[in-house]
Amino acid sequence: MSVSKLRWDDLKVFLQVARFNSLSSAGRALKMDPATVGRRVQRLEQDLSARLFTKSPQGYDLTDAGLRLMPHASMMEQSLLAAESEVKGQSNVLTGTIRIGAPDGSANYLLPQVCAEIVDENPGLEVQIVALPRVVNLSKREADMALTVSPPQAGRLTVQRITDYHLHLAASETYLRTHAPITKLSDLKNHRMIGYINDLIFDKELDYLEAAGKDLNVELTSNSFSVQLNWAQRGAGVCIVHDFAIPTFPELRKILTDQFSLKRSFYLIRHKDDQRVERLNRFAELFAKKIRLEVQRLEALT
């Protein structure tokens, strides 16, 4: 078919289904009923003579053809948004929707304030944070970019190291008052430890407890750092905690800081094709800068 027959309205629907993996969620974003969303996708597939999605238990996944179409549709969206901003005299303002994947620790205790600040500065921009207990698949367009704790080893991806962050042992004041003193690492064997479920650790950089010693009494485990942190601040045991999360929980106290400390790094991962999308480039630059500043600010408070 002639490219001129491609309808932007259908490509816009395609982008939302690809981002949400769902007809109903895309419909809510577009203020359109799911049946209409489905018809628009079918029309686009007919125009292109290609299947763009496959239905799976997780939702609508992009096919190879859909993956090839995604960067081109994203660039069209960027061009239209840039044109609108130019006409309105707001060429420096970011607009549209940007989805970020991140582990739940950073997604809960670092990204909310960073992304809220960016949105405050850019009216018309929508930021979505996808917190998953696994690596976000950018190749399947689960997000526009991802914050990770280790660089990927494969894929058509770009990697930017953003900043280091630190972790320490921590427990609530209540726990420390009501349990045996902790003055050295070997004392941890006499205390309840909180950590990750071993077989659900999806990144080796999250295997914190191994560095704290062997034969620890790990009785409370979760694949969610937020669950671990809530246990710790309620006095359930000792946990290894990101320094940037501690200011959110004034009951928590770092312990053995002179004997135990971990350093990890944040990486911003993007799909190589998106380097041509100026809107995403500008957001990534701003996002990385604000994360560095926020980590520095929060760690200075602990």
Structural domain range at position 65:
1-92
Ramachandran class of 256: left when φ > 0, alpha when ψ lies in -120 to 50, beta otherwise:
left
Better-scored residue on pLDDT, 166 or 208: 166
- Tens of pLDDT, residue by residue over 230-242, are 999 999 999 999 9
Q: Is residue 290 assigned to a domain?
A: no
pTM value is: 0.77
Residue with tokens 């998106």: 274
Share of the chain above pLDDT 90, in %: 62
CA distance 33 to 202: 37
Q: Are 65 and 48 in contact (CB under 8 A)?
A: yes
Identify the band that residue 86 occupies on the pLDDT scale cut at 50, 70 and 90: low
The CATH number given to whatever domain includes residue 70 is 1.10.10.10
Q: Is residue 285 assigned to a domain?
A: no
Q: Average of pLDDT values for 96-110?
A: 92
Q: Is residue 246 assigned to a domain?
A: yes
CA distance 115 to 109: 11
Q: Is residue 275 assigned to a domain?
A: no
How confident is the prediction for the chain on average, in pLDDT?
89
Domain boundary among 70, 92, 114: 92
pLDDT on residue 132 = 80
For strand 96-102 and strand 125-131, is the pairing parallel, antiparallel, or unpaired? parallel
Q: Is residue 60 assigned to a domain?
A: yes
Q: Average of pLDDT values for 71-79?
A: 78
pLDDT on residue 277 = 78
Better-scored residue on pLDDT, 211 or 289: 289
pLDDT on residue 82 = 64
pLDDT exceeds 70 at position 272:
yes
Identify the band that residue 81 occupies on the pLDDT scale cut at 50, 70 and 90: low
Question: Where is mean pLDDT largest: 1-15, 91-105, 149-163?
Answer: 149-163
Q: Give the long-range contacts of residues 151-157, CB within 8 A, separation 24 or more.
A: 151/267, 151/269, 152/269, 156/271, 156/272, 156/273, 157/269, 157/270, 157/271, 157/272
pLDDT on residue 155 = 78
Q: Average of pLDDT values for 262-266?
A: 96
pLDDT exceeds 90 at position 135:
no
Q: Is residue 70 assigned to a domain?
A: yes
Domain boundary among 41, 58, 92: 92
pLDDT exceeds 90 at position 227:
yes
Give how many domains the chain has, as a whole number: 2
The CATH number given to whatever domain includes residue 175 is 3.40.190.10
- Tens of pLDDT, residue by residue over 58-73, are 789 899 999 889 888 8
Domain boundary among 92, 110, 128: 92
Closest by alpha carbon to 23, among 39, 43, 47, 44? 39
- 75 C-beta neighbours (distance < 10 Å), count: 17
- Characterize 234-261 residue by residue with b for buried, 16 or more Cβ atoms within 10 angstroms of its Cβ, and e for exposed: ebbbbbbbbbbbbeebeebbbbbeeebe
pLDDT on residue 1 = 46
Q: Is residue 238 assigned to a domain?
A: yes
Q: Average of pLDDT values for 202-222?
A: 88
Better-scored residue on pLDDT, 81 or 58: 58
Q: Is residue 129 assigned to a domain?
A: no
- Tens of pLDDT, residue by residue over 180-189, are 999 999 999 9
Q: Average of pLDDT values for 16-30?
A: 87
